[in-house]
Structure 1
């Protein structure tokens, strides 16, 4: 009886999330929590799990699926259509999309190729590039999307531009502004949390270089070197 009640509560929560996303494009819970709920439903009621997977909008599913274990990602091809898998992949950040394709290829390499063929050329090339790295290379874990700002640009101008990029889903899960000069040479990075410390009228060139981070590492470097750099 207790399991039945828990299943009903899980279903209701997940359906509320789907409804909220369809109506307002908002997620009530964190995607990680939704992934855990969906995974629990999968273990306890496979029929309801499959039904919700089919009903969940691709954009929401993209947020949730990347938080789920690799074995769940592998089997998703048996639950939803190839078209929807491709659509979900296209909504993911590049590193999550490449991980999904790689996980699917472990089970069915031909199916993974079909998904890639459904993506636009740019997304396909990025995923193939990321998956060309070995698992111990930094490039394997890199995200191709980033927010670039110019040193002579004001913080306000950058924020307006970022809002537009996020509104159109061109950028997501971005936490730093990467500053370059007119020659496109990297100067440093600034976390968005630090931006609130400065006036919006300020230009990035007016921010002290000491306040910027300057991490640089080769995409072929060992991932352990990157971990050590940030630890």
Structure 2
């Protein structure tokens, strides 16, 4: 099994989102999966211009000769892909959105309908998707937009981490909780590879509270 994470954080390797991604991939690798962690901000990806050449003039091939050619190959050769992003203005980052827009050559200009949702027909079978998102605010409301955006790809697993800045905490008490949380992220990666699903108990633990909203806001405002 091959799992590729496409990380949309502008901070790349230094991002708190990457702390979660790395732990998930660690668990997947321990279970025998081949893993890859791609930092989109370091790639040369032009913006889609909506010319539709990849549908009508050169089916399946974009007019831009940039890093997306390599990334599309990584995408399609994977069994599972991970969309990873911090929350920026209620949504995914521009880097990840730009990447997602450039997936258009993988579709045909033929309209399909599924449960009232209209889309374009797939040129090839897409890999299974998971979502990892990190937010610097407490609570779950800030993930509502991202959840709606990725609903159409029917994710096999969604990991939404609030109070994200605490993933780098130096407070011994909080770090104990963070370490416990990250072990469950690792376990999720392991379970997904070995069982093709994540247990309900692990999913529940992925939502564990690192800090109460009140205490977190107090720390933020100091």
> TM-score, normalised on structure 2?
0.32
Q: Which has the higher strand share?
A: 2
Structure with bigger helix share is: 1
- Does 1 or 2 have the higher relative contact order (CA < 8 Å, sep 6+)? 2
Structure with the greater alpha carbon radius of gyration: 1
What TM-score, normalized by structure 1, do the two folds share? 0.31
